[in-house]
Chain A
Amino acid sequence: MVSFATEKKQDRNLLSRIASGDGHGENSSYFDGWKAYEENPFHPIDRPDGVIQMGLAENQLCGDLMRKWVLKHPEASICTEQGVNQFSDIAIFQDYHGLPEFRQAVAKFMEKTRNNKVKFDPDRIVMSGGATGAHETVAFCLANPGDGFLVPTPYYPGFDRDLRWRTGVNLVPVTCHSSDGFKITVEALEAAYENARKSNIPVKGLLVTNPSNPLGTTLDRECLKSLVNFTNDKGIHLIADEIYAATTFGQSEFISVAEVIEEIEDCNRDLIHIVYSLSKDMGLPGLRVGIVYSYNDRVVQIARKMSSFGLVSSQTQHLIAKMLSDEDFVDEFIRESKLRLAARHAEITTGLDGLGIGWLKAKAGLFLWMDLRNLLKTATFDSETELWRVIVHQVKLNVSPGGSFHCHEPGWFRVCFANMDHKTMETALERIRVFTSQLEEETKPMAATTMMAKKKKKCWQSNLRLSFSDTRRFDDGFFSPHSPVPPSPLVRAQT
């Protein structure tokens, strides 16, 4: 009979290196911002002094259109009287090719969001667990542990986890500068490539997000061509994350890499891949619809096999297939969404202009890239962090500091504007107005920030467990208020 040790040892050595390490990126002090929001979330009536969430890149402006459509189309659900006759067929459908009508509808939607300038082949559409799953899958397909992807800075912090954590792949930053609007230049690409070579990191690809998160800028045709040529010449992959494709404001145009490769003679299409999702364009992050679209047949095949690890629920495939094949609805939705985004963008930028606060000129996205360099005590990331803490704890706005996006220069902040209603936006702008006028009055603008820094709250624990306590304000504990995919940053941008 074996005797069992009676002291309980929570021994992390029994876990894998991946599980016990920090590759998930959530051990960063930037989580203070999220924590501050969760402890004290803004509500116009119940908590008017709470923290306003401006760190969440979500598109909540057209939820009403979505709701209306769902109510008008009970047959799109497999649970209603009108749709239940499909229940069993859908419930057993786990083919990793996905429902044909789902793939066709998604391909059509991708075409519409690229102004019908290109055609997408439904047979190249591969499902994944959101864009998060898509990125990891692409990394598994294209790179071995120790290989590297070039990524222009600033970039979405989640990439540190999605591309690296379980894959063992490295990210090599391609440094972009505000002096030329953070353009991706061939010089910067070459420099990054050389850096990787010096560090013995075999470069396997270049990942660009277009439209950019956090910048909101779109790549013009010349730049896209240069990226295709650069990667083709080096024989490395080009992965275009086009998750914000339909978030261009008003009449602004989005050019997909799919369009550009048609114009390049002898383009090696085996190196071209697109990551997409419905989370931003349609505002449906909860449904976990991620897409890998590759021009490389073998990658399509393998990614499809890997999609077993993150298939889209067949119930959701069915709903999306019905919704996106309603072309009138889709056209109306895209049109209306762009108008509302443009209006909201105009509102916030007008407000900031009136306060003399700079922002990067951009044509897309659910956020803007705000320039607070002139408010820094010194042009350092320490100063940026100090300023950020003031904004979170004193101004009570959760914005995301540029350092968390690996920005090369301190002083930039990403501010989301599409995840709140109009009144909340007004409140946020008012708070910024009050803050800036206070700063003007104070002779030592940073005295307040030093004090706040000293009183700073506890650092986020490594065990990121939400507690569903009763003091939390949301409907009956039914939903948790917070996004599960917080920024996953390094403390400092690497140069």
Chain B
Amino acid sequence: MGLLSKKATCNTHGQDSSYFLGWEEYEKNPYDEIKNPDGIIQMGLAENQLSFDLIESWLAKNPDAANFKREGQSIFRELALFQDYHGLPSFKKAMADFMSENRGNRVSFNPNKLVLTAGATSANETLMFCLADRGDAFLLPTPYYPGFDRDLKWRTGAEIVPIQCTSANGFRITKSALEEAYEQAQKLNLKVKGVLITNPSNPLGTTTTRTELNHLLDFISRKKIHLISDEIYSGTVFTSPGFISVMEVLKDRKLENTDVFDRVHIVYSLSKDLGLPGFRVGVIYSNDDFVVSAATKMSSFGLISSQTQYLLSTLLSDKNFTKNYLEENQIRLKNRHKKLVSGLEAAGIECLKSNAGLFCWVDMRHLLKSNTFEAEIELWKKIVYEVKLNISPGSSCHCNEPGWFRVCFANMSEETLKVALDRLKGFVDGPSSTRRSQIEHQRLKNLRKMKVSNWVFRLSFHDREPEER
């Protein structure tokens, strides 16, 4: 339609990919334990729903915060008018401290270098607008979060060139892969402006090693380009080897006074660690004052609601709460992760050894009819439509080897996870097994129906003579 922009008529928003199609199918037929037990179980949603009770009990103990009061006085009016793009000072301080805490206080963050944005979605796009011109490229290790195709490229006109990582070495970023990606960009006549990594990784669930971080810093220094580290999952690290932020490495290597320091930027959010994606809380942290300044102005296009800033400033300023939350959340994630991994093992399915994230990177290569992406999509369709699990195929994450799938574990109850694992086992064990479990399922359904009708029958029995039943 000539009436609309190219952006409106192309599909660089990436929402025609299988990642989103699986969601659509889920939406048509969502699982519910009682109302729709045959529905599709959502395992494609990297959400953390394990620790709301901790927040809710904090709210119960802090009525002032809950009621937008400060020392008993309502501050709603002031909040309603507060639209300063520098953000609520107390909120930025609390966020900077929380980010520090997430890194074991091994690094500290300056609130004046924080920029608030409407979610990490907005943070990533804003950084692109600040660092890349139309047609410039950023290098991203594969596999990567499918949303980056939209967030980094759509309206900015930037390009993504993949850094190919393979299962041969656990998908680690190597020096040669970095160089190859850079050369590939040159061949395509694309000017490389930087590298973007997600640490811990989505979809792998692994933390970036110190070696990799060192390679990255050496690389960006040599090429005089930027490094963006999306650390949105930093609070989801539940076991060793532990989380190392790029900021720590810069500090350990005493690089604070070098030019590379200003070219490292962090993206963060409360959507995963605190499980609050609806509140749209994103953050850009940069050591470069120009980037902070430009990004702050751009944040006008997506400021965080003052109501939300205030609530979270009080929540995060409570250090007892944050300490307890981070510890407890990690314990729960670890347990849930274990359940998924052992459930998959029981079905003869392995996954990449991981220590973080809200998902596992699952190896189903042995279930493919052939070592192709067509076979991967075929398998994926079966899993969505027949096994009724929405999981994300590796191709949607730009993985260069077919057969890998991202399976989320923190966005459902334990019971639902068990149902999902049973279904998967049933599928893997074979059609006869599937048929057996279908028969069993029907039998249970009938049993429930019978029980109900018995109950109804018993009620009406008293009104009748025995021989009329």
Contacts and interface: CB of A to CB of B under 8 A. Distances in A.
Given A74-B67, A141-B8, A315-B311, A16 B13 contact: no
Interface stretch (B130-138, B350-358, B387-395, B454-462): B130-138
B3 A270 contact: yes
A94 B306 contact: no
B218 A2 contact: yes
Interface string A1-19: 1101111111110111111
Contact of B307 (A8, A11, A305, A313): A313
Interface residues of B, number: 94
Contacts of B257: 6, 8
Given A15-B290, A60-B81, A482-B84, A288 B305 contact: yes
B77 interface: yes
A26 interface: yes
A347 B304 CA distance: 36
Given A302-B4, A315-B311, A2 B259 contact: no
Nearest to A23: B297
A319 interface: yes
A364 interface: no
B226 interface: yes
A24 interface: yes
Interface in A134-158: 136, 140-145, 147
B68 interface: yes
A287 interface: yes
A80 B7 contact: no
Q: Please classify how large the interface on chain A is, using the bins under 10, 10 to 19, 20 to 34, 35 or more.
A: 35 or more
Q: Most chain-B Cβ atoms within 10 A of its Cβ — which of A90, A477, A479?
A: A479
Contacts of B258: 4-6, 8
A71 B56 CA distance: 20
Interface string B51-76: 01001100110010111101000101
B125 A287 contact: no
Q: Top 7 nearest A-B pairs by Cβ distance?
A: A314-B278, A286-B306, A79-B66, A310-B302, A484-B85, A313-B305, A129-B302
A299 B118 CA distance: 22
Interface in A92-108: 92-94
Interface string B251-283: 000010111111100000001000111111000
A288 B303 contact: yes
Q: Most chain-B Cβ atoms within 10 A of its Cβ — which of A58, A310, A315?
A: A310
A143 B305 contact: no
Interface string A64-80: 10110011001001011
A161 B261 CA distance: 30
Nearest to B13: A305
A166 B257 CA distance: 32
B80 A286 contact: yes
Given A8-B257, A16-B133, A88 B56 contact: yes
Given A2-B218, A8-B261, A316-B308, A80 B89 contact: no
Nearest to A12: B290
A77 B62 CA distance: 14
B90 interface: yes
B289 A315 contact: no
Interface of A: 1-2, 4-12, 14-20, 24, 26, 58, 60, 63-64, 66-67, 70-71, 74, 77, 79-81, 84, 87-88, 90-94, 129-130, 132-133, 136, 140-145, 147, 161-162, 165-166, 235, 237, 270-271, 279, 283-288, 296, 298-299, 302, 305-306, 308-316, 319, 462-466, 468, 475, 477-480, 482-485
Contact of A465 (B5, B13, B88, B293): B293
Interface string B94-123: 000000000000000000100000110110
Given A70-B76, A286-B80, A142 B5 contact: yes
Contacts of A136: 301
A212 B295 CA distance: 30
A462 B7 CA distance: 31
A366 to B, nearest CB: 13
B297 A464 contact: yes
Contacts of A477: 89
B264 to A, nearest CB: 12
B79 interface: yes
Contacts of A306: 13, 155
B14 to A, nearest CB: 9
Nearest to A137: B301
Given A298-B8, A465-B293, A483-B83, A288 B304 contact: yes
